[in-house]
Structure 1
Amino acid sequence: MRGKYIALLVAAVLAAAAAGVGTAYVRQAGRPTAKTVLPTHEDMQSFVQTANDWITERQKTADLSLYMADTQNGWRSDGQNLFHTTDGGKSWDAAAPFYDGGAADFLDATHAFALAKAVHDEEALTGISVYATADSGKNWRHLALSGAPYFSAEGITRGVDGFSMASSSNGLLILAGDPAAGSHESVVFATKDGARSFTKQADSLRMPNGQNTLALADASHAYLFINGSAAPVFMLATTDGGKTWKEQDSGLSPRFTDVVPTYVPVRMAADARVAMLSVQNGTPAAGAKGKTETADARMRDVFYTLSPDGSVAGKLTELLTDLPLDAKSVSMPDAQTIYALSRAGGKPVLYRFQAQGGWKRVESATLPADALQLQFVSLSDGFVLQKDAVFVTTDGGKTWVKRPL
């Protein structure tokens, strides 16, 4: 995403799935033109259970993340510490003693931003501390956001709805108020000086409760993806640096699904704004108009290009996978290439999309299983994060070398 990954903030972008949840399906993807046999109850039950188990495991490891700026330099988090590498993941140095698991954003090999709680007393008015480094974590500049105009006794801020830096200077911070009746109002702040100061942009941004991912394409354009809400997927976009936000039509029409869909940003850069919707057309409800439609025992992962105003410009491509995809399952090293990591037949499988050739499977005998995150920094150089290791490829995913953490 914009040559960077919005680490930790993604957290668990997939909400807990439940069979029989009314939701939505991709309108642009269209319906199958050929008649297919409806999966048996046992097939669907097995698929849904496997998808739910996968979602649960992803939630457990949501705080573990990796961002490589290039083949040698990068960052990772274990949910309690931030680490930095200069040798391609062979060794890692602790880089943020203040860190307590808050949102972090890594721009390149040297610039990073991280949030931490300014006050840990549950009875006290909780504030947010913003830390910034320009030397790979050797030194951090600190700004505490507490007290007026950021916090008041009438509107205590409980958490962070989103944090993202478009550059080493420009970024947005969205602070969430207390949730009520399925939604809450948030306060939007902008920085233009690298988190030395923040200016309030909006103080009554209403959004549904859910799990959020904020992505900036530049200082003016930002996109807030909300998953797990009653919507069930939701996106807000701003074109004026956070002052005003508009709900965007995600191109969904009511259908029925057995697995909760996920809508996430994949790449946010000057050359491409790409979002992915991972959705499954589930078993039609008895008596519903669509009961003759075919249920999917696979996930349909649709990649969309977004306009600067946040609306869907068009469909880039589509991929069918055995498991749901999320933001950590996909990587775009450039505007024309997508890598996606999933499973097929119980084994890990890597797919590659290129605009001129479509989707192809990358054959590999060393592709690691139980991957937490995939990232390619070029067409040939990529990384896979596991709980206790980083795997590296230099040939586009054909061979992988393990580097223990």
Structure 2
Amino acid sequence: MKMNFGKLLLFLTILILLTACSAPPSDAKEKAYNTAPAPAAAEAETVPEALPTPAFEIVSAPMLTQIEMLDSQNGWAQAVNRILRTENGGQTWFDITPSDIPNDPAYAKSYFLDAQRGWVLIEDRDQPDAGMLFYTTNGGEFWSWHLVSFGRAEFAFSDLNNGYALFNLGAGAGSMGVSVWTTSNGGGDFVQVFLHEPGVEASMPMSGIKNGIAFRDPLNGWVTGSVPMDGVIWFYRTRDGGLSWEEQPMQMPASYENAQTSTFAPHFFDLNVALLPVRLFGEESSMVFYRTSDGGETWMPTLPVPMSGKYDIASPNELIVWDGGATLYTSSDGGETWTFHATNWQPYDLLRSIDFVSTTEGWALSEEGVYRTKDGGKTWSKLP
């Protein structure tokens, strides 16, 4: 009996050992295998987090005071208490007004190089000889500003760095004193290069109401204006960056030898080609565009158009003139010939400004709202 019991005990022991060896692993072991230590977070590649795009407020039916379209889709505008930008031809306007702007920018002077870069000059209402120049390089997402020693000045930039300002010191009896300022770092610093001082004779005369400034390059620039004298075109130039000025003689257009004139800042397209708008006042008010192909050394008048209204220069060859009446004039050859178009909309005196990107596509601001044409001014439609 003992032998049989011993064999049975041995058999049971072997059976238990074999069963244990063949059993599946426990849940704890399985989890430990699948949760092997992961690489430390510090060892992983760091991917910079993208900055969120600012959400601009959409402004419905803004009453624009100024507009500057750069192409058929992109443009800038100003309205009461707002600076705006569009990416769809004016159908939608985004509010890109700087949060720290101190005064209403509706009628502030501004200059836009392209769809991303622009300047807006805000005058100090308490100090006429001071202002804040706001500047953006990303379409108004972010703005920086610099204090400047002039307020409501005419200004322009020839490129991203070089800018020029003409500040009105006071006008009266057909005269106006001015100061001229230049910058070479995008408006970070302005240097005064010319100043009218009482009792001091200057190379640019006090006589004449100055209204515009433009430079071809850092040395060569022009100031425009008007003087109440027949047959005189008020037009002065500098060759030394604004330090000294000289009158540039201009030929009056045929049949307008006795007209009075007002010149406006020339529009340079490159170092050689530019157009100079001149308004003619005589028995019949007209517009004429002087053209230069040698960097402003010589200017020749094109064919005057028998209308003295709003004008725009879309390209070296594309010009538009309209007084808000039933006829709008366009030129596709730089003013050598003109074509008139009957319009379906006549805002007349309610017309504030026009802005065209070609002789066919343009925008008009009136006290009734913003209108757009795609056929050279024949038909206009009001934008929402």
Whether TM exceeds 0.5 here: the answer is: yes
Match of 1:137, SS state, is: coil
Counting only pairs closer than 5 Å after superposition, residues 306-325 of structure 1 correspond to structure 2 as: 306=292, 310=296, 312-321=298-307, 324-325=308-309
- Structure 2 partner of 1:12: none
**CA displacement at 1:195 relative to structure 2:** 0.9
User: How far is 1:111 from its partner?
Assistant: 1.2
RMSD over aligned Cα atoms? 3.2
Write the mapping of 1:5-404 to structure 2, written as runs, cut at 5 A. Answer: 64-78=65-79, 80-97=81-98, 98=101, 99-100=103-104, 101-118=107-124, 120-121=125-126, 126-146=129-149, 159-179=151-171, 183-204=175-196, 206-208=205-207, 210-227=209-226, 234-252=234-252, 261-265=261-265, 267-270=267-270, 272-281=273-282, 296=283, 298-306=284-292, 310=296, 312-321=298-307, 324-325=308-309, 329-342=310-323, 347-355=325-333, 358-366=337-345, 369=348, 370-404=350-384
Give the whole-Å Cα distance in 2 for the aligned partners of 1:127 and 1:381: 38
**Once the 2 structures are TM-superposed, how far is the Cα of residue 311 of structure 1 from its aligned partner?**
5.6
SS in 2 for 1:193: coil
1:244 partner amino acid: S
Q: For residues 308 and 132 of structure 1, do their structure 2 counterparts lie closer, same or farther at Cα, with a shift above 3 Å needed? A: farther
Aligned partners of 1:348 and 1:368 also within 8 Å: no
Please list every run of 5 or more consecutive structure 1 residues that lacks an aligned counterpart in the other structure.
1-62, 147-156, 282-295
2: CA distance, partners of 1:358 / 1:307: 18
Paired residues of 2:122 and 2:131 also in contact (CA < 8 A): yes
- Whether the aligned pair in 1 keeps the contact of 2:331 and 2:359 (CA below 8 Å) is no
Give, in whole Å, the separation in 1 of the partners of 2:134 and 2:353.
Answer: 25
CA distance in 1, matches of 2:235, 2:242: 14
Q: Give secondary structure in 1 for the equivalent of 2:279.
A: strand
TM-score (norm 2): 0.68
**Do the aligned residues in 2 keep the contact of 1:332 with 1:376 (CA within 8 Å)?**
yes
Which string of whole-angstrom CA distances, capped at 9 and with x for unpartnered residues, describes residues 125-161 of structure 1? 8422211111222221111135xxxxxxxxxx7x545
TM-aligned CA distance change 1:203 to 1:366, over 3 Å: closer
Answer whether contact 1:251 1:312 (CA < 8 A) is retained.
no
Q: 1:384 to 1:202 in 2, by over 3 A?
A: same
User: Do the aligned residues in 2 keep the contact of 1:304 with 1:312 (CA within 8 Å)?
Assistant: no
Q: 1:266 to 1:233 in 2, by over 3 A?
A: same
Shift in Å at residue 84 of structure 1? 1.6
Q: Deviations over 1:38-67 (max 9, x none)?
A: xxxxxxxxxxxxxxxxxxxxxxxxx93211
Q: Are the equivalent residues in 1 in contact too, given 2:274–2:295 (CA < 8 A)?
A: no
Give the fraction of aligned pairs with identical amino acids, expressed as a percent.
22
5+ residue gaps, structure 2: 1-63, 197-203
User: TM (normalized to structure 1)?
Assistant: 0.65
Q: Distance in 2 between matches of 1:384 and 1:181?
A: 34
Count how many residue pairs are aligned between Structure 1 and Structure 2. Answer: 303
- Please report how far the alpha carbon of residue 307 of structure 1 lies from its aligned counterpart in structure 2 after TM superposition: 6.4
Task: Assess if the C-alpha contact under 8 Å between 2:214 and 2:221 holds in 1.
Answer: yes
Which structure has greater strand proportion?
A: 1
Question: Alpha-carbon deviation of 1:70?
Answer: 1.0
Matched-pair contact (CA < 8 Å) for 2:351–2:364:
yes
Distance in 2 (CA, whole Å) between partners of 1:106 and 1:229 is 32
Check the 8 A contact 1:368/1:391 in 2, yes or no: no
CA contact (8 A) 2:326 2:342 kept: no
Q: Which one has more relative contact order, counting CA pairs under 8 Å at least 6 apart?
A: 1
